[in-house]
Chains A and B, each alone.
Chain A
Amino acid sequence: MVRALEKYIRPGVKSTPFCPGCGHGILMGLILRAIDDLKMDMKKMLFVSGIGCAAWIPSPHYNGDTLHTLHGRALAFATGAKLYNPDLCVMVVSGDGDLSSIGGNHLIHAARRDIDLKVICANNMIYGMTGGQAASTTPRGSKTSTTGEGNPYRPFDLCKLVEGAGATYVSRFSVTQPISLIQSIKKALLHKGFSFIEALSPCPTQFGRRNLLERPEDMIKDLIRRCILEEEAEGLTEEERAEKIITGEFLS
């Protein structure tokens, strides 16, 4: 981690726990940059996460209050803490499996209530921690350890899901779009209400290896190639669009 951000890291933390090339490590830094840009008071920040590799992004690394909860339940814990102490700036950072599969019901209800929570969903389209099983975000046709023939089901469009449920700030960016992602995190931090950022984050170990993206850099390149802005998508044919990932701010 770059020197300037060291003050945001809990003393005693020596290294990140992620695999080489894991997007979660990049995201970990980007969130801190946004916090640093806004000069947020870490003593008033509470980071809540569930269970999974992504849930380790804040816990115990960030030097604020961190609450590492149960698989799927981060938003429920966060709701209790925020309602009781509204002075806390509560950010939830967790995985796609955590927030949208096992925790999907809490996600839509937290969005519906529009409680001031800043949610960053590190979406690697797979269950990283448990060995690469299919998630509710795994693209159709992708190979996982539970879909050897390719995932037969459609994935959630998380941004549409939370927007439909009532979120008041919604965006999707990839860790390969660091400037936009930092910008978006800052907006979420300043937004009053339920903000949701889907941060695309590659999992080379569990997703890449199974899907013809052998090396970590293949995954990064793939994301760079596929992530486009809404405007850019306009000129594309149906086919061309199908393999792209539309990023941007959808609701602000």
Chain B
Amino acid sequence: MASRWVKSPFPKGTYYFSGNEAAAEGAIAAGCRFYAGYPITPSSELMERMAVRLNEIGGVFIQMEDEIASISAVIGASWAGARAMTATSGPGFSLMQESIGYAAFTETPCVIIDVQRAGPCTGQATKVGSGDIMQAKWGSHGDYQVIALSPWSSQEMYDLTLRAFNLSEQYRVPAMVMADEAIGHLRETIRVAAKVEVWDRKKKKGGAPFDIEGEDGVPPMPSFGEGERLSVTGSTHDAYGFRKTDDPKAHARLVERINKKILNHKRSIIETEDYLLEDAEMAVVAYGFTARTSLYAVKRMRKDGTKVGMLRLKTLWPFPDEAVAEIGKKVKKIIVPEMNLGQVAGEVKKYVPCDVISLSQTNGEVIQPDTIMEMLRKI
């Protein structure tokens, strides 16, 4: 298993892409050659661009009958050897959950982009929200891990989609890009480099595809048709894919491994960014679009002499517990602004001794800088 540098399929240069378009280009750059999806606002432009691009470069695009079929086709294609993805929004993300659990348990690389909208239910389809953060981690039944990234710009829709593919291939795990309507539709200057780094899944003839091979806990993954006579099942299985539905040891071993292989590598998976935190007495912990607002607010407050900084969570799952705990030791108060009723605030509370204030907004609109500044002034 290794990474290699390949020529970017999109010419090096500066572009003006919406987040959704940029994500599609990031996927293509990562080597994605299979897309299955079902239209849903506000993610549809991503699918439309994939339809055009995969047609141009000779990949497979298919519009399925629903989101369950979409993610299932993605998993089938992944086992046939594809780097494969789908994109959706809340209602579709809900439908996908059983198959996401399947991908986690069968260790199938795949990428899911959730362009979050204002939920629950059909909610406000064209409006922004970030209410799917907990669902990304806990949406399917049982104990499993996923990787979830949080882009804050069009550029990162490109960069983090590419990274999601790489992490997904490297760790054989579903990787999610938890975007939101505001980022999906934000058009920004983005830079495409001449070369991109892509990871290839590990291959080994005759290797056990479902047990530990080497220290990283990630087994090799052959594809269908390679003569490996694979047995893939979503039931508990042994190293070679034989069902072990009554063996307590086999179950514990498998569940533990698929969790550990991610958690043991969380330091290389998790990315966070510190802003103005050195002497800070208060910290804003933010992610996604709201981190842009927060940074603006924090810089303004700094001008007025308030000692405030920001920790930005670029990775949401596995949760950046260490970075959060570190900040928690330094500051007296943490505020967590988010477009839900405190999903990440609750997570932050687990790791810090100081006060954590949840600044929730669930009105279908992005949080404005003034709202954050007001809160910072109040506390």
Asked whether the complex places CB atoms of A and B closer than 8 A, the reply is yes
A interface, CB within 8 angstroms of B: 10, 12, 42-44, 46, 48, 59-60, 63-70, 73, 76-85, 87-88, 105-106, 109
Given A60-B242, A68-B233, A88-B224; 16 other pairs, CB 8 A cutoff: A60-B241, A65-B224, A65-B225, A65-B232, A67-B76, A67-B232, A70-B72, A77-B72, A79-B62, A80-B62, A81-B79, A83-B34, A83-B73, A83-B77, A85-B81, A106-B65
A93 CB to nearest B CB, Å? 14
Q: Is B305 an interface residue (CB 8 A)?
A: no
Are B69 and A79 interface neighbours, CB within 8 A?
yes
Chain B's interface: helix, strand, loop or mixed, by majority?
mixed
Are A10 and B73 interface neighbours, CB within 8 A?
no
B interface, CB within 8 angstroms of A: 33-34, 36, 60, 62, 64-66, 68-70, 72-82, 84, 98-99, 102, 223-225, 227-235, 240-243
Q: A68-B234, A70-B98 are in contact. Are A80 and B225 (CB under 8 A)?
A: no
A90 CB to nearest B CB, Å? 9
Q: A76-B69, A106-B69 are in contact. Are A81 and B242 (CB under 8 A)?
A: no
What are 10 pairs between A and B in contact, CB < 8 Å? A59-B243, A67-B230, A69-B234, A73-B72, A73-B99, A76-B76, A81-B77, A84-B34, A84-B84, A105-B69
Are A60 and B243 interface neighbours, CB within 8 A?
yes
A239 CB to nearest B CB, Å? 40
Q: A73 to B234, alpha carbons, bound, how many Å?
A: 12
Q: A69 to B105, alpha carbons, bound, how many Å?
A: 11
Q: A83-B34, A109-B65 are in contact. Are A43 and B229 (CB under 8 A)?
A: yes
B251 CB to nearest A CB, Å? 16
Chain A's interface: helix, strand, loop or mixed, by majority?
mixed
Q: B36 contacts which chain A residues (CB < 8 A)?
A: 79-80
Q: A136 to B218, alpha carbons, bound, how many Å?
A: 41
Closest to A17 in B: B243
Most buried by A among B77, B99, B243: B77
Q: A60-B241, A78-B76, A79-B76 are in contact. Are A65 and B65 (CB under 8 A)?
A: no
Are A43 and B227 interface neighbours, CB within 8 A?
yes
Are A88 and B76 interface neighbours, CB within 8 A?
no
Q: A68 to B62, alpha carbons, bound, how many Å?
A: 22
Q: A12 to B73, alpha carbons, bound, how many Å?
A: 29
